[in-house]
Amino acid sequence: QVQLQQSGPGLVKPSQTLSLTCAISGDGISSSSTAWNWIRQSPSRGLEWLGRTYYRSKWYSDYAVSVRGRITISPDTSSSQFSLQLNSLTPEDTGVYYCARDHDGAFDFWGQGTMVTVSS
Protein backbone atom coordinates (compact mmCIF):
# COMPACT_ATOMS: atom_id res chain seq x y z
CA GLN A 1 0.00 0.00 0.00
CA VAL A 2 1.36 3.39 -1.03
CA GLN A 3 1.71 5.93 1.76
CA LEU A 4 2.72 9.58 1.52
CA GLN A 5 3.90 11.41 4.64
CA GLN A 6 4.20 15.19 4.51
CA SER A 7 6.44 17.40 6.64
CA GLY A 8 7.16 21.10 6.81
CA PRO A 9 6.22 24.31 8.62
CA GLY A 10 2.67 25.55 9.02
CA LEU A 11 3.45 29.27 9.33
CA VAL A 12 5.50 31.28 6.84
CA LYS A 13 6.02 35.04 6.59
CA PRO A 14 5.03 37.04 3.51
CA SER A 15 7.73 37.25 0.81
CA GLN A 16 9.46 34.17 2.22
CA THR A 17 9.74 30.64 0.75
CA LEU A 18 7.56 27.66 1.63
CA SER A 19 9.37 24.31 1.74
CA LEU A 20 7.44 21.06 2.12
CA THR A 21 8.58 17.45 1.78
CA CYS A 22 6.64 14.30 0.95
CA ALA A 23 8.11 10.90 1.88
CA ILE A 24 7.02 7.95 -0.27
CA SER A 25 6.61 4.38 0.91
CA GLY A 26 5.16 1.41 -0.96
CA ASP A 27 6.17 2.66 -4.43
CA GLY A 28 9.32 3.69 -6.24
CA ILE A 29 9.85 7.39 -6.80
CA SER A 30 11.37 6.57 -10.20
CA SER A 31 8.41 4.48 -11.36
CA SER A 32 7.82 4.94 -15.09
CA SER A 33 4.01 4.94 -14.82
CA THR A 34 3.35 7.44 -12.03
CA ALA A 35 4.13 11.05 -11.10
CA TRP A 36 4.40 12.98 -7.86
CA ASN A 37 2.30 16.07 -7.38
CA TRP A 38 1.54 19.00 -5.10
CA ILE A 39 -2.04 20.26 -4.80
CA ARG A 40 -3.45 22.95 -2.52
CA GLN A 41 -6.93 23.80 -1.27
CA SER A 42 -8.35 27.05 0.02
CA PRO A 43 -11.89 28.45 0.36
CA SER A 44 -11.17 31.13 -2.26
CA ARG A 45 -9.35 29.00 -4.87
CA GLY A 46 -10.79 25.52 -4.24
CA LEU A 47 -8.59 22.56 -5.16
CA GLU A 48 -5.67 23.74 -7.27
CA TRP A 49 -3.02 21.55 -8.90
CA LEU A 50 0.41 23.20 -8.51
CA GLY A 51 2.81 20.89 -10.28
CA ARG A 52 4.51 17.52 -10.48
CA THR A 53 7.78 15.70 -11.02
CA TYR A 54 8.23 12.34 -12.74
CA TYR A 55 10.83 10.01 -14.23
CA ARG A 56 10.72 8.88 -17.85
CA SER A 57 14.35 7.95 -18.56
CA LYS A 58 15.18 11.31 -17.01
CA TRP A 59 13.47 13.66 -14.55
CA TYR A 60 10.81 16.12 -15.71
CA SER A 61 8.64 18.73 -13.98
CA ASP A 62 5.38 20.42 -15.00
CA TYR A 63 3.93 23.47 -13.26
CA ALA A 64 0.60 25.28 -13.19
CA VAL A 65 0.56 28.61 -15.02
CA SER A 66 -0.70 30.32 -11.83
CA VAL A 67 2.53 29.60 -9.92
CA ARG A 68 5.08 29.19 -12.72
CA GLY A 69 8.21 31.17 -11.95
CA ARG A 70 7.71 30.84 -8.18
CA ILE A 71 7.65 27.06 -7.82
CA THR A 72 10.14 24.19 -7.86
CA ILE A 73 9.24 20.53 -7.36
CA SER A 74 12.20 18.19 -7.16
CA PRO A 75 12.89 14.54 -6.32
CA ASP A 76 15.32 13.18 -3.75
CA THR A 77 15.91 9.65 -4.97
CA SER A 78 18.29 8.72 -2.14
CA SER A 79 15.51 9.20 0.44
CA SER A 80 12.47 8.43 -1.76
CA GLN A 81 11.06 11.91 -1.17
CA PHE A 82 10.04 14.86 -3.25
CA SER A 83 9.76 18.47 -2.25
CA LEU A 84 7.89 21.68 -2.97
CA GLN A 85 9.45 25.12 -2.84
CA LEU A 86 7.17 28.10 -3.40
CA ASN A 87 8.70 31.54 -3.08
CA SER A 88 7.51 35.14 -2.82
CA LEU A 89 4.60 34.09 -0.66
CA THR A 90 1.52 36.28 -0.12
CA PRO A 91 -1.56 35.70 2.07
CA GLU A 92 -3.25 34.33 -1.09
CA ASP A 93 -0.98 31.28 -0.76
CA THR A 94 -2.61 30.31 2.55
CA GLY A 95 -4.31 26.93 2.41
CA VAL A 96 -3.96 23.19 2.91
CA TYR A 97 -1.15 21.69 0.82
CA TYR A 98 -1.28 18.05 -0.25
CA CYS A 99 1.19 15.77 -1.98
CA ALA A 100 -0.36 13.11 -4.21
CA ARG A 101 0.54 10.37 -6.66
CA ASP A 102 -1.02 10.46 -10.09
CA HIS A 103 -1.65 7.48 -12.32
CA ASP A 104 -3.62 7.65 -15.58
CA GLY A 105 -4.48 11.29 -14.92
CA ALA A 106 -6.07 10.71 -11.48
CA PHE A 107 -4.67 11.23 -7.98
CA ASP A 108 -4.94 7.86 -6.27
CA PHE A 109 -2.87 8.34 -3.12
CA TRP A 110 -2.66 11.52 -1.04
CA GLY A 111 -0.64 12.82 1.88
CA GLN A 112 -2.34 13.88 5.09
CA GLY A 113 -2.25 17.58 4.22
CA THR A 114 -0.37 20.51 5.78
CA MET A 115 -2.20 23.70 6.75
CA VAL A 116 0.03 26.59 5.65
CA THR A 117 -0.65 30.11 6.87
CA VAL A 118 1.15 33.07 5.31
CA SER A 119 1.23 35.80 7.93
CA SER A 120 3.67 38.11 9.63
Partner 1 sequence: DIQMTQSPSTLSASVGDRVTITCRASQSISIWLAWYQQKPGKAPKLLIYKASSLESGVPSRFSGSGSGTEFTLTISSLQPDDFATYYCQQYNDYSWTFGQGTKVEIK
- For 104-110, the CB contacts below 8 A with 24+ separation are 107/37, 107/39, 108/2, 109/2, 109/3, 109/4, 109/27, 110/4
Give the amino acid at 106: A
Segment 36 to 75, residues that bind partner 1, using CB under 8 A: 37, 46-49, 62, 64-65
Least CB distance to partner 1 at residue 94 (A): 17
- Contact region for partner 1 (CB under 8 A) — 15-23, 25-33, 84-92, 99-107? 99-107
Q: Which of 19, 21, 72, 110 binds partner 1 (CB under 8 A)?
A: 110
CB 54 within 8 A of CB 34: yes
CB of 96 to partner 1, least distance (A): 9
Summarize the chain as % helix, strand, coil (round to 5).
5, 60, 40
| Mode of pairing for the β-strands spanning 71-76 and 59-63 | unpaired
Q: How many chain residues interact with partner 1 (CB under 8 A)?
A: 20
| Least CB distance to partner 1 at residue 97 (A) | 11
Residues interacting with partner 1, by CB under 8 A? 37, 46-49, 62, 64-65, 98, 100, 102, 104-108, 110-113
